[in-house]
Structure 1
Amino acid sequence: PGCSIRSCGLACVKSHKKRTGCTGKRKLEFVPISQFDDNLLLSDYNMLEDTKRVAESSQRWRNKLCKYSSFPLPESLRRLQNAANSRNTRLSFLPGGMLKREKNQSRYRKKCISWTVEWRFHSTDVVLLNHGVGEDTNLCSVLENHLKPGPWIHKLKPFCDVDLDSLRLFICKDPEGGAKAPFKELNIKAPLRQQLAGVDILEYPVIHVYLPSQSCDFQVIRDVDPTPDPTIYDGHGSTQGLTFEMEEDPEVVDDEFTKNSHAQEIEFEQLPIDAYAELFPDMDPATDCNDDGLEEGEIIE
């Protein structure tokens, strides 16, 4: 047949066609340049498109079945991933160039994770970013800074008018689980480290803030004992050295201001929407690795 498979007779050819679905026709064959025309050019182009489609389909299936990333992680991200895994937090990353990947400034150094944390206030278009949030910092002290006078305070007035302790905080347990993914309710006075246990995180934690009067339309999972661990929490989490960013739809406004001798950066930009295939890399046990030349409390730009 045209596919060049050697056969011994008609029965063998029929068996080959039935077993492989081959039509016996050869798609590719040598054509003299004198016989090459637009139809053959179009045929070659279609063949290349079919090859690309099959390759991309195979890669998607590979990611789903093998459960690991197809791109190598830098050493710093691998250490961060291992450290999160040792804390029972599954951390995954997007490929380089993605918006959320570029925003993430989470780091692991001196046996401590400094997270980038995104805050989304329900029923508003305000999105705030914190960089360098220590894992032993309580959420209340970080959120309190956002509810002080600032450029966005008029949009967060309902959240400023209620007691800080009455605000409800939620984090999605599986960011890639779709609309039906359950959420975990967080303790506003507990440190971040213990509250991220059992949570899948894509790049960095995204915390949703609700008023006491607002209802949520998702499944909520609460910890049996949300009491803070006294060995790692003293009730006064520090936010010294944290940087802040702000995002808002759809306009872009840049502003800078100084508060308590610490610069705060504010950005307004469109909310990112992330919907990607599962990228849960295999992770090794965490290792004790420090970044040379960094002092405690220093923020990596």
Structure 2
Amino acid sequence: GEGEKRVRADIYPLRVENDAFVLFLKTSLMWGKCYFSFLFVRLKIRVMIISVDIFPKNGRNSLSFTSFRCETCSKEEAKYRCPRCMKYSCSLLCVKKHKLTQSCNGVRDKTAFVSVNEFTDLNLLSDYRFLEDVGRTADAATRHCLVHSPATKRLLYCLRNKARGCNIELKTLPVGFTKRRENSTTFNSNKFYWHLKLIFPHCHAEYTLKGVPDDKTLADILKPYIDPVESDPVVCQRLKVYTSSPQSDVRILMKIENRSRNSVRYNELDASRSLLDNLKGKVIIEYPTLFVVLKTLKNDMVVLGQGEHVFISCYVILGYFSYISSS
């Protein structure tokens, strides 16, 4: 009896401390909810004040709005504004045209930079809702039956194993990453059918191809885009810098993975060889991304070996002059 009482007496302070900790958590959550409720009420009051100023009871607008011309056709008065790039459009046709020419998806960028001076309650509300959406998406992804299904894991294992047999180191990302979701690469006993992304930096354009066989040459892959005869008229007009240049000036580069940010390098690929031959001995994360550049135009992409050669040459020249000055 005394031993049991002593044990219970020893446990009692722990229970008191745990109850105090739980009470502290509940109090903190309550104050947090009160704080956000205060912010929402404050935001609603501001919205009501703005609506009263813009739409007074006499029916007249107290604010003078400036009319804008459509930035696509430059003829009609604008009626719409893109939430992402803030371009003005007058009709559905101009909206679709601006999305095609600007590579715009029309979805507001919730993670765009906002300076402290421009940060308002609307930005706070947007960030709060964005965090809630991220939490819901992550929770739904972990609960999805296909994420942890044996069939999905077996498919990814076979995909990596097949690539390893072709001397390609294929790496897959965890579920939830954009590239993991976009990847549509498949394979059979004979060949790969790659999900491929083409980026044209000089025109700020990119295109996604699906089901590209690995025995197709890079020259044939690029023909519908940079060939002045076989390319689509809309694509040809957008990639005018490439279609008007000789094919000998076109260079195809692929970023080398697993390098630090301050030493980014690219491999130059051979357009006359197949996609499989160009990918051998390289590391690919989910799917290949090819950069199409021109020799005649300046770009910031350093091909593997070129930057090192320049550095070594400068080092040798400096060493030579220092040797002459010392002698």
TM-score normalised over the length of structure 1: 0.50
Q: Give the structure with the larger strand fraction.
A: 1
Bigger radius of gyration: 2
- The structure richer in helix per residue is 2
- TM-score where L is the length of structure 2: 0.46
The one of the two structures with greater contact order (alpha-carbon pairs below 8 A, sep at least 6) is: 1
